[in-house]
Structure 1
């Protein structure tokens, strides 16, 4: 299953904040501890699965630095249990056992950056503590202004080749910030493309930071983790006068409006019809919320343009990194199915042009066999809920469901 990167980032944030809370209470914090805390944001090319190499190459060494201990030849679970006992927080154990880290920091700087932390420790320690305790945009902007005047980070064996300090520090401050409002500003191609799109690609750091945080509240983007997910598709999330936004992050839907439309005299017939619509909308929203909960390991998007109001889109839903478009219907009756099929093909064309569609319908229950057969003939996927369990008849969708 492809993991929702924002979920991994937020999990790492929770872990680092718990470790930082323990660390910052100490009297004699060392450069090695700051380095270790930052290193928890790192991964390698192997970052998923039981044998992911980043665990031994970055995660365990980072924990050794933070706790000034050697965990060599100790099973990972024993290390994690020991750490949770040291800081007296049982919730840390699950965070440590889960995959963490999210940035493949430049290998040529992974060792030399430790010397840089050591050389600039007096300036860095207050910034780390300030990032941990930041309460608002003023606090964060002051930290960014301080980053901007720090010296560059030298490359191993090439001291004249300097890396911008924000490449190392913004992932660390992303992890320390309680509200995750520090955007990642590094050499990643998607970040560079975003800064260019915002017209600040060649601007100084504070201007770049200000341009990025202005995107919060746009297209459902609430924090830096959300922003990092949509960076590559930002043009779809930001509207212009000539081209409205097409996508937004899927948010929880309202399902509790029980008292609308009381019956009133000559308006009774219309009110009854409208009440039926409200019931359908409530079911629709309940299904959408269930889908979001069931697929919490994925980033789900929704349409926000009147010409393309799709219910849900899962980017990179399969091993081929393809997108899946889902239409939610509150009824299994044939007219609803026909409408859903037409909507799906139209929405896909609006989003993807003439490419081969990956589309599916989500229903409140399994429909009749004739509808199942029809959807298979149309190559449209089918999903439904049995209680709270997501189900499907399609082998190509089973990795998303409880049947996986």
Structure 2
């Protein structure tokens, strides 16, 4: 998961809600239209780029199902223009063309689920309408309780093998929900890990739903897209009787206030005071914000525990399951860099124990050659911004920064 992926999910929500505005204004909604609307959550193994396979195989047919048109020989741009003209809404062009979909729904059920929709259409249409209009937890919980009473979905050629209805329906309701508070509850490994962490994997759907939505407001988790992004890190986001939360999603930092900005921990106090607390903290926050904007392809976390207030943890920064811990400093002076080094090793040990460390400092400019050599000797990466470009002297930081 990543910020980019969460935005893709939110874009899908905006697209589906826009289409549903027109679809649900009709008196009668067909099973084929419900099927098409739901299919907009689906992707295939190829889901990036202008020629991604899911566009032709899944997205365009789904859009055709929703509006009752044959788009088999049309490009996505042509489809977007047709839909925009049909509904008289120019904003639909960008919504349709933008990448959407976020779940690789089981292939063995992709066709048979239409027959299931047809058999249960009288119950399903009110649930879809309710999800589109939901504005309270009571209304969402009512949908969940109704969903729990639906029959399983038969597998193609093996009708005795039934899929839980929520595996198909919760992605659809995620797309329809005005506040994206309807969590994904399906067979995805990340979702199952989440349910296991919450100790509700073997519980009923209602219990699972309640456990998941109870997480909103914790650790920077605002909605179901954030919740999906947290994944395996969830235990570190929670306060329990045994331990306090240690992580949260990286949030935008304020840089405009004239009031005294909070210091991260006591170890920072003296060095930052000497240089001017407010100015230095603003520079620190500006750098952190730039990093947050630049690294949207990654899930970015920040420290929450008083004993481990790290600046940024980049999850799986090298696509080899290695996390990168970054300490941001507002000055290239040796005192600040030395402080960063000590914090990095302390934070890493608290987070990862004796695992091999992946550590880096982010500075406002390139430091002296001597400082660069010192960091290289320690095995600590060096990064700085040159305008909007994130630069480094370390090849192993190539996944996120440019060699300079």
Native 8 Å contact 1:47 1:54 kept in 2: yes
TM-score in terms of structure 2 length: 0.90
Q: Which residue of 1 aligns with 2:192?
A: 192
Q: Which residue of 2 aligns with 1:284?
A: 284
SS of residue paired to 1:400: coil
Q: Which residue of 2 aligns with 1:130?
A: 130
Q: Which residue of 2 aligns with 1:299?
A: 299
CA displacement, residues 168-205 of structure 1 (integer Å, 9 cap, x when unaligned): 10000001111110011112233223223323222221
Deviation at 1:399, TM superposition (A): 4.6
SS of residue paired to 2:317: coil
| Structure 2 residues not aligned, in runs of 5+ | 262-269
Q: Which residue of 1 aligns with 2:17?
A: 17
Q: Which residue of 2 aligns with 1:4?
A: 4
CA displacement, residues 83-110 of structure 1 (integer Å, 9 cap, x when unaligned): 3333333333333333211111111111
Q: Aligned in 2, Cα 1:323/1:93: closer, same or farther, shift over 3 Å?
A: farther
Deviation at 1:206, TM superposition (A): 1.1
TM-score in terms of structure 1 length: 0.90
State the alpha-carbon separation in 2 of the partners of residues 134 and 72 from structure 1: 34
188-197 vs 246-255, which moves further: 188-197
189-198 vs 40-49, which moves further: 189-198
Q: Which residue of 2 aligns with 1:62?
A: 62
Q: Which residue of 1 aligns with 2:141?
A: 141
1:347 aligns with 2:347: yes
Q: Which residue of 2 aligns with 1:308?
A: 308
Q: Which residue of 1 aligns with 2:39?
A: 39
Q: Aligned in 2, Cα 1:273/1:155: closer, same or farther, shift over 3 Å?
A: closer
Deviation at 1:40, TM superposition (A): 0.8
| TM alignment of 1:249-260, pairs within 5 A | 249-260=249-260
| TM alignment of 1:105-254, pairs within 5 A | 105-254=105-254
Native 8 Å contact 1:6 1:299 kept in 2: no
Native 8 Å contact 1:33 1:66 kept in 2: yes
Q: Which residue of 1 aligns with 2:335?
A: 335
Deviation at 1:249, TM superposition (A): 0.6
CA displacement, residues 272-312 of structure 1 (integer Å, 9 cap, x when unaligned): 94882232222212221222122233321101112221101
SS of residue paired to 1:301: strand
State the alpha-carbon separation in 1 of the partners of residues 399 and 93 from structure 2: 27
29-38 vs 353-362, which moves further: 353-362
Give the alignment's Cα RMSD to 1 decimal: 2.5
Deviation at 1:224, TM superposition (A): 0.8
Q: Aligned in 2, Cα 1:349/1:88: closer, same or farther, shift over 3 Å?
A: farther
248-257 vs 173-182, which moves further: 248-257
State the alpha-carbon separation in 1 of the partners of residues 89 and 121 from structure 2: 28
SS of residue paired to 1:292: helix
State the alpha-carbon separation in 2 of the partners of residues 11 and 402 from structure 1: 29
Deviation at 1:68, TM superposition (A): 1.3
Q: Which residue of 2 aligns with 1:317?
A: 317
Native 8 Å contact 2:308 2:347 kept in 1: yes
CA displacement, residues 212-249 of structure 1 (integer Å, 9 cap, x when unaligned): 11111111111111111113221111132322222111
SS of residue paired to 1:390: strand
Residues matched between the structures, number: 395
State the alpha-carbon separation in 2 of the partners of residues 260 and 319 from structure 1: 39
Deviation at 1:259, TM superposition (A): 4.1
